[in-house]
Every structure is written in structure tokens, then in C-alpha cells.
Amino acid sequence: MVILGISCWYHDSAAALLSDGKIVGAAAEERFSRKKHDYGFPTQAVEWVMEQGNVKPADIDHVVFYEKPLVKFERILASYISTAPKSFAAYITAMPLWLRQKLWFARELRQQAGYTGSVLYCDHHLSHAAGAYLLSPFDDAAVVTLDGVGEWASTTMGVGEGCHVRLDREIRFPHSLGLFYSAVTAHLGFKVNNDEYKVMGLASYGDPARFRNEMRELLHLHDDGSFELDMRCFAYQYGLAMLSSKGKQLLGPSREPESEIDQRHCDMSASLQERLEEAVVAFARAAHATTGKSRLCMGGGVALNCVANGRILADTDFEDLWIQPATGDDGGSLGAAVWVWNEVLGHNERITLDHAYLGPGYSEQEIRATVAAKGVKFQELAWEDVPRLAARLVHENRIVGWFQGRMEWGPRALGARSILANACNPAMKDILNDRVKHREDFRPFAPVVPVENMTEYFDLPIESPYMLLIGDVKPDKRDVIPAVTHTDGTARPQSVRRETNPLYYDVMREFERITGVPVIINTSFNVRGEPIVCTPEHAYRCFAGTGIDDLVIGRCWIRKEDIEDGSAHQ
């Protein structure tokens, strides 16, 4: 039984393939197209998962789309009609694309992939819920999904039990935590559906009291955990802007993109983040009270807000929390596929996701051929020497491009396509930003730690394998790992089990052998504005064109000193 799940046409398009109850592969289109947050039909991702599964279009039993286009079109059309004539500009902008492409997924599937078989459609938030619960290690849990908007729902609550998941309650468009956060993100001069995590990082530098009343005016919370927006302050339901003139007047002048960030912007970010956390915690508390479950599974783009996730663990009665690594729209492709496996086809075996390494991998021969073709000096190591070398280089304050195994599923680099650096060096954050990442200086870098040392360094009660939780760095460790300790004393750690990624794990253990500290920096192997690298060629180009000192790619080691100049052999 072969099932292909697809998400596309909003942001972060992706494809995932199941074969006889196993995940063959899953990948976002951006990693192949090199267009960040690529929303087009995932032609290259579909081709890759089919190649990985050694299947042709005729071998696929079902293709499932992660939402229902006709229902979504109904919502968009109804919104435009109800707000006419203010909606005219948005209407004439949106309708051609819907009528030409977005309503005709099956036709596009035939044209792009040559598939003519069964096509199924899963509700958007059910895709999130299935990806959250059915892939989780829990046999029962409360389920919460939060994002911008699917067809009509923006937030849902339900239950997962055994091999089934259901949604019992929803909050509908235009009321949305995701759109609330995005609207203020845009007002702060950042990109919607791209930079919300920057606002989350900026919030730590601000005073939430400054705009607290304004945020409460924008977003009202109710005793039952529900919420509603003051729609007089928002324009997205009828226009091309996120905030209305009333909303802009309430918050004051907007920031021009790429302009200087001042204390006012920090304070607004802090107030926004505080209000989001209050809403998420209130809804989670309601889910606990309603379902009586001790564990929670979350899905949707808002579940990428690591600070709010940490608040759930701290401020609700849930004992455990699980979020799939691709919890946004990309993960809807995999969620829809497992929904077909369990709910449509009725299989009583769950497909548990125990790691995120679901993307393309490359053989030793392929990696060596790519490196050799560059005509540069390199050294080929024994496998046992690879983590020893990487740890030594990190200890020497060299920046290491780390390319190993299959690529990660989701937006985080988790030790397959990572840049590694010294968390003990207080200057390393600025060094990385200056020489490689070229990103805003308020954004923190994340630590990676063996799971056994997690609670020694970080105040988190559960594992964090997908870097989706923020917790306090233990006070006595903040001076030990200053490069990953944020201004508010927090960090977003990744905890690693050796059985999941032994090579990566061993780097930390080797670094601990040298320094006594098992924590290093892990940041994504890319530069600002580009997707994380996917292929050996991508990795080499990023290494050669930036201030990365060393590339450890498979068993091959290349030093920057052995390249003629920083742009050679690209």
C-alpha cells in the first residue's frame, strides 16, 4: 500500500510517501528548488520521494492533499462577499490563481506527476492533528492545533486514542492566533509566514507592559479558553494588508523593513509574545479540563513558537507534550498520509515518528565524487575519527559545516545539515553572525546536548529532540555556555539520543572529553535568506562562499585554508 501526501499553494510545500505502513521519505520543496518557503507544487519533492520508494505513478494507491480546496475557496469567497466593496482589490488579486490552479489539484497532479489514480482530501486541521497524534509515541492524548487558517478553522481541540484522532471543537476565521501574531509581525517590519520566530527572539529584549493594553484590545480571551480578535483592527479578511487603519493607529508607527530596531519595537514584540502565550496556555488548560488527558499533542504553525510551548509545560497540568518536527504546513503532507493509513484504510498499526531524518541522503561515493570534482585538497577519515575531528575543531573555535546522513524533516537543523561551533566561547555568537549567518544580532543560537545531560544544563522536564521547546539555562551553567544563553537566561536546546544519531552524539561526547562540557552550538547549515542545504553541492558552495572554517561531509574533511580563495570551485 503506497500513499503519497502533498501540501502546497500557501507556504512550505512538501511531499511525503508511505509504503506498507512505513515512512519512505518526506521533504519540503524549498530544499530542492532553493526558494525559501516555496509554496508551488512540490514537483521535485514528489520526484524524490517516489525515487526513494522506487515507485512509479501507477504504483501509488492513494494521493492525499492536506486540505479541501473547495471548502477553502468557499471561505475566501464568503469573506470577500461579506466585506465588499472593501474587498475588491484582494478579490481581483486572489481569484485568477484560484480559478486557474488552486481549485484543480487533481489536474495539477496529472500534469506534474503523471498520476491518474485515487485522490483524497483531508481537512487542513485534521492533517495537523493526524501529524501531531498519529505519529506521536502516545497511545492517548489531547490534541490541539493552532495556525493562521485552514478551510474555516484556525484553532481546534480534540482527542487521540489508539489509532484514531478526532476534533471536537474549533475556533473559526477570522479569529486566529496565527494571523494575530503575523499581523503584528508585519507591523514590526518583518515578513509574514517567515519572520515570526524573529519576533519571538526580539521579545526577550522588551518590556511587555508597554503595549499590554493594546494587545488585550486586539485579542480578547474568554474563561472557556476561547478567544476572539477585535476585527475592527484587522484588514486581512478583506484586504491586502494585515492591520486596518484602526489597528495601525492603536499600535503607532510601523517599522520599515530592514530599518533600525529600537526599544519600542522590542517592547511591542514582548507584549505580542506575552499575549500569545496567555492565549495558548488558556486554550491548553481548556483542552486538559475537557479531555482529562495527561499528555498533549500539538500541530500547526503556532506550535513552532517554542516559548509558548515551554509555557504549556510550566503552566498547565499536562505532564508531557509532543510536536512533530514539521508542525507547519509542510508537515500537513505527512499528517494527511497517516490519516489515510489509519482513518481511511482502517489500519490498526500506528506509524510512530522517532526521528526527523526523513530527507535525502548521499552515499560515500557520491560525496567523495562531489568533493573530488572541486579539485581541492581534502582528507578522508575513518568513521571513528569523524566526531573526534569535529569536536577538536569546535574546541579550537573553528566553525564547522557538518553534513551527515539523511536531511532533517522540518525547519530545524538537527545534526544532519548543521553548523557546529563552540558554545563555551562568549564571542562565538558574534563570530558566527559576522562570518557566516549575517543575521540580526538579537537572535540567539541554539545548543545541542546529549539527552542524559539535558536536565543538568536546562530546566526542561521532557526531552527536546526537535528543538521546539525553550527553557531556562540552569543559573550555574549560564557562564559555562554563554554563546547559547539568551539575554533572558533561556535557550532552545536539542536533546540527542545516541541511537538516533550516533555520529552527532559522539561529537558532543568528544567535546566533553576535551572540555568537560557536553554542549555545543548547532545552527542551520545555510546563510540568511536561503533554505538549509540539501545536497553535497549545496554544502560545498555554502562552505566556500562563507566564513565557515571546515567542512566535514561524510568522511571527507576540507579546510578553508586549502581552498585558493573564498569563492573558488563553486
Range(s) of the chain covered by CATH 3.90.870.20: 364-562
- Tens of pLDDT, residue by residue, the chain (570 residues): 999 999 999 989 999 999 999 999 999 999 999 999 999 999 999 999 999 999 999 999 999 999 999 999 999 999 999 999 999 999 999 999 999 999 999 999 999 999 999 999 999 999 999 999 999 999 999 999 999 999 999 999 999 999 999 999 999 999 999 999 999 999 999 999 989 999 999 999 999 999 999 999 999 999 999 999 999 999 999 998 999 999 999 999 999 999 999 999 999 999 999 999 999 999 999 999 999 999 999 999 999 999 999 999 999 999 999 999 999 999 999 999 999 999 999 999 999 999 999 999 999 999 999 999 999 999 999 999 999 999 999 999 999 999 999 999 999 999 999 999 999 999 999 999 999 988 888 888 999 999 999 999 999 999 999 999 999 999 999 999 999 999 999 999 999 999 999 999 999 999 999 999 999 999 999 998 899 999 999 999 999 999 999 999 999 999 999 985 544 433
At 275 the three-state DSSP class reads: helix
Other CB atoms within 10 Å distance of the CB of residue 58: 9
- The whole-angstrom separation of Cα 71 and Cα 63 is 19
Range(s) of the chain covered by CATH 3.30.420.40: 2-130+332-344, 172-323
For residue 188, give Cα distances in angstroms to 195, 243, 249.
Answer: 10, 11, 14
Which architecture characterizes domain 364-562 according to CATH? Alpha-Beta Complex (3.90)
Whether the bond between 174 and the residue before it is cis, its omega within 30 degrees of 0, is yes
- The whole-angstrom separation of Cα 423 and Cα 6 is 38
CATH numeric code, 2-130+332-344: 3.30.420.40
Pick the CATH number of 172-323 from 3.30.420.40, 3.30.365.10, 3.10.129.10, 3.30.70.20: 3.30.420.40
At 279 the three-state DSSP class reads: helix
Report the length, in residues, of the chain. Answer: 570
| Nearest by Cα to 30 from 559, 543, 538, 564 | 538
Across 361-386, b (16+ Cβ under 10 Å) vs e yields: bbeeeebbebbeebebebeebeeeeb
521 alpha-carbon distance from chain centroid: 18
